[in-house]
Each structure stands twice: as structure tokens, then as C-alpha cells.
Amino acid sequence: MITSEWITFWLFKIAYFTFLLIFSLLSTSAVVYTIACIYTAKEVTFKKVISVVSKVWKRLMLTFLCTFAAFFAYNLIALVFIILWIITIGGSGRNSGIIVLVIIAIFYFVGFVYLTLVWQLASVVTVLEDCYGIKAMKKSKELIKGKTFLSIVIFFMLNVSFILIRLLFKKVVVNGWKLGSVDRTAYAILCFLLLSGLFLFGLVLQTVLYFVCKSYHHENIDKSALADHLEVYLGEYVPLTAKDVQMEQYQV
């Protein structure tokens, strides 16, 4: 019985993460394209957005796979450091060993947040520019310089909001035994709407942050050229290029 429950649990988890990845890629491409259209004062329709999504999701998938590989390598290196800490802890004092572990945890957390910021901005770069995968991550890494603190503030605001919504869901839906089934269902729908809105709002912030970073590095995007490229999305997919769209490193 226990084995059957674990199999069911992991099958459910696999299905959950599969659908989460699919809808994440679709929503990312849709939101980024929509914000770009608003930025250039172009008309946005559902049909246009869907046609763009079908042409961009493969590029986003490649960027995601590269990011996943980077996270996997990062966690593997962190695991190696923890194993080394466990091996060497016997030869050092208890207090010094705990201090070393805290230092490793701090560095791990900082690196994890930075990788997450690079990944999020790389998704926007993948949709709007002519690079994806590792190139998009490198471009994102360059763009985020100078606006790292702003990116961190946005990251923590979104994650704190996410934690609050999860706590609300756990409090009134999962553990809300004193509430009736109708009330718990209503709270569940409310949490679902809040969480969906938070994810979409986060994608909007990532796209706006992309334009802010471009402006900070004097890579100001020409709105007319951007509008022309957005129209091309409706035909054969042609991403934005540095030559046609942006004034690279323009100094005032």
C-alpha cells in the first residue's frame, strides 16, 4: 500500500511539473510579447499573442534546459562542499564547523538567487532578441549588472507574496477544518486567482526590468524598429537583432 501511494505521489508530481513547465513557457512568451506591444503602442489581440507563442516556446525550452543544467551543476558543487565539510568536521571544533556550514549556506543562497535572476531575465531576452540558451544567459548576466539590487528587491517581493498566499491556503483550506466546504472552496479559488495573478505580474515585472536594464546600459531600443519586428512575429519568426533594434552602448 505504501509503495502504491509513493508511485501515485511521484506520478502526480511528474504530471504537475510537466504542466507547470508548459504553461510557464506559454505564459512567459505571451506576457513578454504583450508588454513589448504595449511599449510600442501596438494593438494587442488574443489571436496575435497565440500565434507568437507557437513560434517562441522552442527557444524558451532550450533556454530553460541550459538553465536547468546550470542549476544542476551548481547544486552538485554545493553538495561536494557539504560532503567535504562532513568529512573534515571531525578534525575541527564543533563551533568552527557550524560557522563553516553557515558560510557555505550563505554563499549557496546568494548564488541561487543570482542564478534565478539571470534565468528570469534570460527568458525575456530569448523572446525579444536573436539569442537563446547559453547566449541568452550570458546576455542576461551582462544586462543585470548595475541593476542587481533592484532585481533582488523584486525577487524578494514576489517570493514573500508567494509565501503569504501559500500560508493563507494552508491556514484556511488545508487546515481550515472549522470552516464549511463552501467556504474552503471559495478560499481555494481566491488563493488560485491570487497565485495566478502573482505569476503574471512577476512576468510583467521581468519584462519591464529588461527595458530598464537596456536603458541603464545605453542600449536604448528604437520603438519603431521594435514595432516592425513585432509585426514580423505574425509571419515567419524573426527575433530582434542588435543591429536593427538597439543603439548599442550609446553614450549621451
The predicted pLDDT at position 231 comes to: 57
Contact assessment for residue 31 and residue 127, using Cβ atoms and an 8 Å cutoff: no
Taking 50 as the pLDDT cut, the residues of the chain under it are 236-238, 244-252
The predicted pLDDT at position 244 comes to: 46
pLDDT tens-digit readout, 64-93: 888 889 999 999 998 888 888 777 765 555
Rounded Cα distance between 196 and 193, Å, is 5
Helix H, strand E, coil C: the string for 197-238 is: HHHHHHHHHHHHHHHHHHHHCCCEECHHHHHHHHHHCCCCCC
pLDDT tens-digit readout, 186-220: 888 998 999 989 998 998 998 889 888 888 887 76
The predicted pLDDT at position 193 comes to: 92
